[in-house]
C-alpha cells in the first residue's frame, strides 16, 4: 500500500498454508500467512520492520485443470509490534491464476 503524497508505504512478505474445501468448480479456501512487513513513515521520517500475521479467506472458480479465476480474496493483517500501537490493514482482491508446470490435482489410487 502506498500513499505517494506523503511518502508513506507498507510492504509485506508473507507465506503460509492454505486449506481448500470441496475442490470442485467453486473452491472456497482459508489461509494463514506469517512474515515480515516494512513501514516507511511519511515525509521520510524513517522506517521500521515488523512481524505480521494475516488470516484470510476467498473463493476460486476452476475453469479447467490449469486455469482458475479468483472471485474474491480477503486478507486481514495484524502488525502487533507496530511502533504506535497495533496496525490492522486489510484488503480485497480478485484475479486469474494459471498453472504452468505439473498437475493441479493429485490422483490417488486405491
Digit-coded pLDDT (tens) for 89-110: 999 999 998 888 866 555 444 4
| pLDDT of 3 above 80 | no
pLDDT of 24? 84
One-character DSSP codes across the chain: -EETTTTEEEEEEEE--EEESS-SSEEEEEEEEEEEEEEEPGGG--EEEEEEEEEEEEEEEE-SSSEEEEEEEEEE-BBTT-TTS-B--EEEEEEEEE--SS-SS-----
pLDDT of 77? 95
pLDDT of 28? 95
Asked whether the CA dihedral 45, 49, 53, 55 is positive or negative, the reply is positive
Q: Residues 4-46: pLDDT tens digits?
A: 777 888 999 999 999 998 778 999 999 999 999 999 988 888 9
Contacts of 39 (CB under 8 A, 6+ apart): 8, 9, 10, 47, 48, 50, 79, 82, 83, 87
Find, among 55, 13, 17, 18, the residue nearest to 35 by Cα. Answer: 13
Q: Residues 65-91: pLDDT tens digits?
A: 889 999 999 999 999 999 888 899 999
Amino acid at each position: 500500500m502506498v500513499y505517494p503524497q506523503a511518502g508513506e508505504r507498507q510492504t509485506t512478505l508473507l507465506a503460509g498454508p492454505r486449506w481448500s474445501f470441496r475442490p470442485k468448480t467453486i473452491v472456497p479456501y482459508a489461509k494463514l500467512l506469517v512474515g515480515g512487513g516494512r513501514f516507511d513513515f511519511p515525509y521520510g521520517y524513517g522506517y521500521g520492520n515488523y512481524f505480521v500475521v494475516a488470516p484470510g479467506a476467498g473463493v476460486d472458480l476452476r475453469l479447467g485443470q490449469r486455469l482458475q479465476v479468483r472471485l474474491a480474496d480477503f486478507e486481514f493483517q495484524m502488525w502487533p509490534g507496530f511502533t504506535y500501537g497495533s496496525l490492522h490493514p486489510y484488503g480485497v482482491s480478485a484475479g486469474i491464476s494459471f498453472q504452468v508446470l505439473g498437475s493441479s490435482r493429485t490422483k490417488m489410487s486405491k
